[in-house]
Amino acid sequence: MGSSLLFRENSKGETPLHIAAREGRIDAVKYLIDCAKAEGNDLESGVKWVTVMLGKTNKVADTALHMAIRSVSKNRSVVVKMLTEENPESSNSANNAEETPLYLAAERNHCDIVSEIVTTCPPSAYGGPQGRTVLHAAVIRCCEVCVKAICRWKQELTTKVDKNGWTPLHYAARFGYGAMVKELLDVDQSVAYLRIADNDEKNTALHIAASGGYEGIMTLLLTRCPDIWEMTNGKGQNILHIAIENEEQNVVKFILGKPWHTNLINQPDEEGNTPLHLFAASNNSLMLDLNTLKQNSDFNAFNKNNLTPLDITKDSDQYTRGRISSILRAHSLIDYIDGTHPCPSKFIQDERGAGSAQINPDYQIWNTQDQALMTLLNATLSQTALSHVIGYSASRNAWLALERRYSASTKFNILQLKSSLHNISKGKDSIDLYIQKIKQARDSLASVSILIEDDDILLYVLNGLPQEYNAFKTSIRKRYENITLEEVYAMLKIEEQTIEFVL
């Protein structure tokens, strides 16, 4: 076969070797390599034709090695070995998506190929999209075998950051991958002290674990790096700030059970807010009482707005109602919401008390005033408070809804419902029953005017899946912004059947 045929391209810029590699055709790959060798060297450059052929790229800059790694053929690994042994330099080529062959292999959990490339091609390029490295890909895929092989090959990748400033450890903490955290710390414990580089918040892995409610990962980080609890992020927040801000009940209790927690309770962030300020501002959505905290807590510490935690506590439960009451009294409208000026009958009654078709003028006056009051309420309420009165047409009913929402019993109930949603896991349940439980918990919260966005529900669904679904979770997180709960449910059903078949 002449060189012109070896390099003939189809409409996608693919050569015969691209196609043979993609299809896993060992015989065809071997034949094409033998033909290229027989052609000898390019007369102009002196480079071997086989080297030129293996380095040839298609219209998206994929080499035959890229195609082989993506192949679904059972011969994939054999073809990759043939290509890398023939030309180790081909592993250094990145395509238009910035994917190197090594990155592609790790992203697809092809542990044997990762091992082959790092062994056969020692100087291999390791980059991927968004500045991520092959180690980022292996950690995000939660592949222990790949992570071990990559760290033995190039240990310094543990400290490399992507374009978002995240190290592999940051991702391991974000997704709750305890095994990945352990592997990375075994290689280099110092990475636990690195903050997210290109981010205003500049969180450490411990901050990230606290925000996600991952006590196990926090324990692992604190065991390996006992002084890491002292670190603050870019906003001056410690891990107790983060846990309270994210309403992570169990993490807050975990921190308060540590002997060093007393150093965190009174520590101000850049706005002067201590964790107590954040707790006081949370409407007690966490099941903690300020009075139950340790005696050395400073309830009189001022933030930059000259407010103490006690000032905020007094405001938080009654702020919405008090603010509105003042406005209504100023407009002489308080009687409408406290029940002293009830709605008159809509129709005029005759002498016998029977209704008529004639509208009551008093009702018209009252209704006009009440609707003006509803307009005032809607203009005055915050977005959060406004969500609790949607659907009410009368000011009295809207007011009662606010009172119910801000009552102590309702707040406790909301906490219980949130905790229930957070703790749902698939376990041995079917996907149908698992999703049903999550939807029921969401509906229960909606009944007390707490609306959970679809994106958040999706996170709860993923976090509650067992380890055998790790590959599925990773693939969903990559397209997180473009997927609905219904689509995830359908894919979970397929994944469930696949796992049952394998097991």
Q: What are the residue ranges of helices labelled H in 227-357?
A: 239-245, 249-256, 262-265, 275-280, 309-330, 334-338
The architecture that CATH gives domain 164-307 is: Alpha Horseshoe (1.25)
pLDDT for residue 380 is more than 90: no
The predicted structure's pLDDT at residue 396: 85
Helix axes 361-380, 309-330, angle to 10 degrees: 150
Of 172, 90, 59, give the one whose Cα is nearest residue 104.
Answer: 90
Which CA distances in Å does 500 have to 67, 128, 426? 30, 33, 14
pLDDT for residue 301 is more than 80: yes
CB count, 10 Å around CB of 298? 13
Query: How do residues 397-443 score in pLDDT, each as one tens digit?
Result: 887 877 766 654 455 566 667 777 878 999 989 999 999 898 888 88
% of the chain at pLDDT higher than 70: 83
Parallel, antiparallel, or unpaired for β 347-349 and 355-359?
Answer: antiparallel
Under the banding of pLDDT at 50, 70 and 90, the label for residue 3 is low
Q: What are the residue ranges of helices labelled H in 331-453?
A: 334-338, 361-380, 383-386, 395-405, 408-423, 431-446
Under the banding of pLDDT at 50, 70 and 90, the label for residue 354 is low
Q: What are the tokens at 409? A: 């019993």
Average pLDDT of the chain is 85
Most distant pair of Cα atoms in the chain: their distance: 115
In this structure, of 132-141, 440-449, 489-498, the range with the lowest mean pLDDT score is: 440-449
The stretch 344-363 carries a mean pLDDT of 78
Query: How do residues 163-204 score in pLDDT, each as one tens digit?
Result: 999 999 999 999 999 999 999 999 999 999 999 987 778 999
Which CA distances in Å does 132 have to 13, 104, 167, 415? 27, 12, 9, 38
Report the length, in residues, of the chain.
503
- Helix, strand, coil: what percent of the chain each, to 5? 60, 0, 35
Under the banding of pLDDT at 50, 70 and 90, the label for residue 76 is very high
Domain ranges of the chain: 164-307, 311-346+357-406, 409-502
What is the enclosing helix (H) or strand (E) of 358?
strand 355-359
Please answer whether residues 323 and 385 qualify as being in contact, where contact means their C-beta atoms are separated by less than 8 angstroms.
no
pLDDT for residue 306 is more than 70: yes
Long-range Cβ contacts of 387-396 (<8 Å, 24+ apart): 387/449, 387/451, 388/449, 394/343, 394/370, 395/333, 395/336, 395/337, 395/370, 396/336, 396/337, 396/339, 396/342, 396/343, 396/370
**At residue 348, what are phi and psi to the nearest 5 degrees?**
-70, 135
Which CA distances in Å does 58 have to 13, 108, 172, 195? 4, 21, 34, 39
Kindly report whether the global pTM for this prediction surpasses the value 0.85.
no
